[in-house]
Amino acid sequence: MIVDGEQWERLADVPRLLGSRPAATIRAWVRSGRVRAIRLGDGGHREVYVAITDVLAADASTPRRRARHRRVT
């Protein structure tokens, strides 16, 4: 969805579209205010849309965690 020339996508679709972080990480960014979000819909069914530019900026500024090395004994 394009609003005022800016792309917004459903929060649930962002990981699949961008191949980036899981939806839980993006939700945490929304709660902390790093990513702008809007909620659309009535009380029965509500969808959350996030600004893609904010998601890309937050993703670029957050280092990725490396998997721990397992020692084989």
Alpha-carbon span 45 to 22, nearest angstrom: 22
Q: How far apart are CA 32 and CA 46, in angstroms?
A: 20
Q: Which two tokens stand for residue 73?
A: 């004994």
- Read off the pLDDT of each residue in 5-34 and give the average, rounded to a whole number: 89
Q: What is the pTM of this model?
A: 0.76
C-alpha to C-alpha distance for 6 and 71, rounded to whole angstroms:
47
Q: 51 falls in which pLDDT band (50, 70, 90)?
A: very high
Residue 67: the pLDDT is 66
